[in-house]
Amino acid sequence: MKILTIPQSVQEILDKFIQSNFSRFSYKYLADRLGLKVDTVIQRISRNKEYFEIDDSERPSRISIKKGIKEIYFYRDKNQCQLCQRIVDLENLTLRYRNPYQENKFEWRNVLSVCDECKEKEIIKKIKRVKKPGTVEYKEVYIRLVSKMKEDKRFYYYEFDEYDGTGEFPLLDENNNIASKTVGDVLNYFGSDGWDVVHIETLRGEYDDAGYEDFQVFFKRKGEQDE
Protein backbone atom coordinates (compact mmCIF):
# COMPACT_ATOMS: atom_id res chain seq x y z
CA MET A 1 0.00 0.00 0.00
CA LYS A 2 1.32 3.41 -0.98
CA ILE A 3 1.74 5.74 2.03
CA LEU A 4 1.13 9.49 2.02
CA THR A 5 4.53 11.18 2.17
CA ILE A 6 3.39 14.74 2.92
CA PRO A 7 4.81 15.59 6.39
CA GLN A 8 2.30 16.19 9.19
CA SER A 9 3.58 19.75 9.65
CA VAL A 10 2.84 20.46 5.98
CA GLN A 11 -0.58 18.80 6.18
CA GLU A 12 -1.58 21.26 8.89
CA ILE A 13 -0.66 24.15 6.60
CA LEU A 14 -2.37 22.53 3.62
CA ASP A 15 -5.60 22.26 5.59
CA LYS A 16 -5.75 26.06 5.90
CA PHE A 17 -5.18 26.56 2.17
CA ILE A 18 -7.82 23.94 1.31
CA GLN A 19 -10.37 25.64 3.60
CA SER A 20 -9.74 28.89 1.72
CA ASN A 21 -9.80 27.47 -1.84
CA PHE A 22 -6.04 27.83 -2.10
CA SER A 23 -5.92 31.59 -1.63
CA ARG A 24 -2.49 33.09 -1.08
CA PHE A 25 -1.49 33.94 2.50
CA SER A 26 1.15 36.04 4.19
CA TYR A 27 3.34 34.36 6.82
CA LYS A 28 1.70 36.33 9.60
CA TYR A 29 -1.86 35.64 8.45
CA LEU A 30 -1.07 31.94 8.07
CA ALA A 31 0.44 31.91 11.56
CA ASP A 32 -2.77 33.47 12.92
CA ARG A 33 -4.90 30.74 11.37
CA LEU A 34 -2.62 28.00 12.67
CA GLY A 35 -2.20 29.51 16.13
CA LEU A 36 1.58 29.41 15.73
CA LYS A 37 4.43 31.88 15.87
CA VAL A 38 5.45 33.43 12.56
CA ASP A 39 9.00 32.05 12.90
CA THR A 40 7.59 28.53 13.26
CA VAL A 41 5.60 28.85 10.04
CA ILE A 42 8.61 30.27 8.19
CA GLN A 43 10.74 27.32 9.34
CA ARG A 44 8.12 24.75 8.28
CA ILE A 45 7.82 26.26 4.82
CA SER A 46 11.59 26.66 4.42
CA ARG A 47 12.13 22.99 5.28
CA ASN A 48 9.48 21.87 2.78
CA LYS A 49 9.95 24.26 -0.15
CA GLU A 50 8.91 21.60 -2.66
CA TYR A 51 5.27 22.16 -1.64
CA PHE A 52 5.19 25.96 -1.61
CA GLU A 53 5.66 29.00 -3.84
CA ILE A 54 6.79 32.29 -2.30
CA ASP A 55 6.14 35.62 -3.99
CA ASP A 56 8.59 38.17 -2.59
CA SER A 57 7.59 40.85 -5.09
CA GLU A 58 4.82 42.01 -2.75
CA ARG A 59 4.94 43.36 0.75
CA PRO A 60 4.31 41.24 2.75
CA SER A 61 5.44 38.12 0.87
CA ARG A 62 2.62 35.85 -0.28
CA ILE A 63 2.65 32.08 0.13
CA SER A 64 0.79 29.66 -2.14
CA ILE A 65 0.73 25.91 -2.76
CA LYS A 66 2.55 24.54 -5.80
CA LYS A 67 0.23 23.15 -8.45
CA GLY A 68 0.82 19.88 -10.25
CA ILE A 69 1.81 17.74 -7.23
CA LYS A 70 -0.41 14.64 -7.32
CA GLU A 71 -0.35 13.95 -3.60
CA ILE A 72 -1.68 17.42 -2.81
CA TYR A 73 -4.77 16.83 -4.97
CA PHE A 74 -5.25 13.39 -3.40
CA TYR A 75 -4.92 14.90 0.08
CA ARG A 76 -7.41 17.66 -0.78
CA ASP A 77 -9.94 15.07 -1.98
CA LYS A 78 -9.27 12.80 1.03
CA ASN A 79 -8.37 9.83 -1.22
CA GLN A 80 -11.93 9.88 -2.55
CA CYS A 81 -12.74 9.36 -6.21
CA GLN A 82 -14.61 12.47 -7.31
CA LEU A 83 -16.77 10.49 -9.76
CA CYS A 84 -17.92 7.39 -7.87
CA GLN A 85 -17.23 8.85 -4.38
CA ARG A 86 -15.39 5.72 -3.19
CA ILE A 87 -12.37 6.08 -0.92
CA VAL A 88 -9.49 4.10 -2.40
CA ASP A 89 -5.78 3.49 -1.80
CA LEU A 90 -3.32 6.02 -3.20
CA GLU A 91 -1.94 3.56 -5.76
CA ASN A 92 -5.44 3.30 -7.26
CA LEU A 93 -5.87 7.05 -7.72
CA THR A 94 -4.94 9.23 -10.65
CA LEU A 95 -5.73 12.74 -11.87
CA ARG A 96 -8.32 13.83 -14.43
CA TYR A 97 -8.96 17.30 -15.81
CA ARG A 98 -12.35 18.88 -16.27
CA ASN A 99 -10.89 20.70 -19.25
CA PRO A 100 -7.67 19.05 -20.48
CA TYR A 101 -7.17 21.86 -23.01
CA GLN A 102 -7.16 24.62 -20.40
CA GLU A 103 -3.99 26.71 -20.53
CA ASN A 104 -3.12 25.95 -16.91
CA LYS A 105 -4.70 22.53 -16.54
CA PHE A 106 -3.40 22.13 -12.97
CA GLU A 107 -5.66 24.91 -11.61
CA TRP A 108 -7.26 23.56 -8.45
CA ARG A 109 -10.83 23.53 -9.77
CA ASN A 110 -9.81 21.83 -13.00
CA VAL A 111 -8.22 18.77 -11.37
CA LEU A 112 -10.10 15.77 -9.99
CA SER A 113 -8.85 12.72 -8.13
CA VAL A 114 -10.36 9.61 -9.73
CA CYS A 115 -9.96 5.88 -9.19
CA ASP A 116 -8.69 3.42 -11.80
CA GLU A 117 -12.23 2.22 -12.56
CA CYS A 118 -13.46 5.76 -13.29
CA LYS A 119 -10.46 7.27 -15.06
CA GLU A 120 -11.96 6.62 -18.50
CA LYS A 121 -15.48 7.75 -17.62
CA GLU A 122 -16.96 10.92 -19.05
CA ILE A 123 -16.91 13.78 -16.55
CA ILE A 124 -20.42 15.16 -16.09
CA LYS A 125 -20.84 18.55 -14.53
CA LYS A 126 -22.78 18.49 -11.29
CA ILE A 127 -26.03 20.45 -11.16
CA LYS A 128 -25.69 23.49 -8.97
CA ARG A 129 -27.80 23.18 -5.84
CA VAL A 130 -30.65 25.69 -5.75
CA LYS A 131 -31.03 27.54 -2.45
CA LYS A 132 -34.41 27.69 -0.80
CA PRO A 133 -36.07 31.12 -0.84
CA GLY A 134 -35.51 33.19 2.26
CA THR A 135 -32.39 31.34 3.40
CA VAL A 136 -29.54 33.33 4.95
CA GLU A 137 -26.20 33.39 3.15
CA TYR A 138 -22.87 33.93 4.88
CA LYS A 139 -19.60 35.16 3.46
CA GLU A 140 -16.10 35.39 4.90
CA VAL A 141 -13.80 38.04 3.40
CA TYR A 142 -10.14 38.74 4.09
CA ILE A 143 -9.11 42.40 3.63
CA ARG A 144 -5.42 43.15 3.47
CA LEU A 145 -3.26 46.21 3.02
CA VAL A 146 -1.01 46.29 -0.04
CA SER A 147 2.08 48.45 -0.33
CA LYS A 148 3.59 49.20 -3.76
CA MET A 149 5.95 51.65 -5.35
CA LYS A 150 4.81 53.97 -8.14
CA GLU A 151 6.96 56.71 -9.62
CA ASP A 152 9.43 56.41 -6.72
CA LYS A 153 6.66 56.86 -4.17
CA ARG A 154 5.09 54.25 -1.95
CA PHE A 155 1.32 54.10 -1.90
CA TYR A 156 -1.15 51.91 -0.03
CA TYR A 157 -4.50 50.40 -0.88
CA TYR A 158 -6.69 47.48 0.22
CA GLU A 159 -7.42 44.21 -1.57
CA PHE A 160 -10.01 41.64 -0.57
CA ASP A 161 -10.29 37.88 -0.99
CA GLU A 162 -13.68 36.13 -0.91
CA TYR A 163 -12.15 32.62 -0.67
CA ASP A 164 -13.93 31.59 -3.87
CA GLY A 165 -10.77 30.71 -5.74
CA THR A 166 -10.65 33.92 -7.78
CA GLY A 167 -7.89 35.47 -5.69
CA GLU A 168 -7.29 38.93 -4.28
CA PHE A 169 -8.47 42.11 -5.99
CA PRO A 170 -8.73 45.83 -5.27
CA LEU A 171 -11.83 47.85 -6.13
CA LEU A 172 -11.59 49.79 -9.38
CA ASP A 173 -13.57 52.85 -10.49
CA GLU A 174 -14.91 53.49 -14.00
CA ASN A 175 -11.46 54.68 -15.09
CA ASN A 176 -9.76 51.52 -13.77
CA ASN A 177 -8.14 53.45 -10.94
CA ILE A 178 -7.86 51.83 -7.52
CA ALA A 179 -10.88 52.87 -5.44
CA SER A 180 -10.23 50.91 -2.22
CA LYS A 181 -8.04 53.36 -0.32
CA THR A 182 -9.70 52.47 3.03
CA VAL A 183 -11.33 49.44 4.64
CA GLY A 184 -14.60 51.36 4.55
CA ASP A 185 -14.48 51.41 0.75
CA VAL A 186 -14.47 47.60 0.71
CA LEU A 187 -17.22 47.31 3.33
CA ASN A 188 -19.42 49.74 1.39
CA TYR A 189 -18.89 47.70 -1.77
CA PHE A 190 -20.36 44.59 -0.12
CA GLY A 191 -23.05 46.64 1.62
CA SER A 192 -24.29 47.91 -1.75
CA ASP A 193 -24.85 44.26 -2.72
CA GLY A 194 -27.00 43.57 0.34
CA TRP A 195 -24.36 42.16 2.67
CA ASP A 196 -24.50 43.15 6.34
CA VAL A 197 -21.43 42.99 8.58
CA VAL A 198 -21.81 40.39 11.34
CA HIS A 199 -18.32 40.52 12.81
CA ILE A 200 -14.96 42.13 12.08
CA GLU A 201 -11.83 40.50 13.44
CA THR A 202 -8.65 42.55 13.50
CA LEU A 203 -5.62 40.43 12.68
CA ARG A 204 -2.11 41.02 13.95
CA GLY A 205 -0.90 43.98 11.96
CA GLU A 206 1.35 43.41 8.97
CA TYR A 207 2.27 47.12 9.21
CA ASP A 208 2.38 47.77 12.92
CA ASP A 209 5.01 50.46 12.44
CA ALA A 210 2.59 52.42 10.24
CA GLY A 211 -0.49 51.65 12.32
CA TYR A 212 -2.11 49.44 9.68
CA GLU A 213 -3.85 46.12 10.25
CA ASP A 214 -5.49 43.37 8.20
CA PHE A 215 -9.09 42.29 8.77
CA GLN A 216 -11.27 39.20 8.63
CA VAL A 217 -14.90 40.22 7.99
CA PHE A 218 -18.00 38.05 8.24
CA PHE A 219 -21.12 39.11 6.31
CA LYS A 220 -24.64 37.79 5.97
CA ARG A 221 -27.63 38.54 3.75
CA LYS A 222 -31.03 37.08 3.11
CA GLY A 223 -31.22 34.96 -0.03
CA GLU A 224 -33.34 36.14 -2.92
CA GLN A 225 -36.78 34.67 -3.57
CA ASP A 226 -37.10 32.17 -6.43
CA GLU A 227 -38.81 33.55 -9.51
Q: Are residues 145 and 205 in the same domain?
A: yes
In a domain, residue 54? The reply is yes
pTM: 0.57
Q: Are residues 157 and 217 in the same domain?
A: yes
In a domain, residue 125? The reply is no
| pLDDT (average), residues 84-100 | 88
pLDDT (tens digit per residue) in 51-73 = 999 998 877 888 999 999 999 99
Helix (H) or strand (E) holding 197: strand 196-202
In a domain, residue 23? The reply is yes
Q: Are residues 88 and 26 in the same domain?
A: no
Q: Which residues pair with 212 in a beta bridge?
A: 207
Q: Are residues 27 and 83 in the same domain?
A: no
Q: Are residues 111 and 189 in the same domain?
A: no
Average pLDDT, rounded, for the chain: 82
In a domain, residue 111? The reply is yes
Q: CA torsion 102→107→109→114, rounded to 10°?
A: 90
Residue 33's domain is classified under what CATH number? 1.10.10
In a domain, residue 129? The reply is no
Domain count, the chain: 3
Q: Which domain holds residue 18?
A: 8-65
In a domain, residue 1? The reply is no
Q: Are residues 97 and 161 in the same domain?
A: no
pLDDT (tens digit per residue) in 139-182 = 888 888 887 777 778 788 888 888 766 667 788 877 778 888 88
Q: Are residues 106 and 173 in the same domain?
A: no
Helix (H) or strand (E) holding 136: strand 136-150
3-state secondary structure string across 140-176: EEEEEEEEEEECCEEEEEEEEECCCCCCEECCECCCC
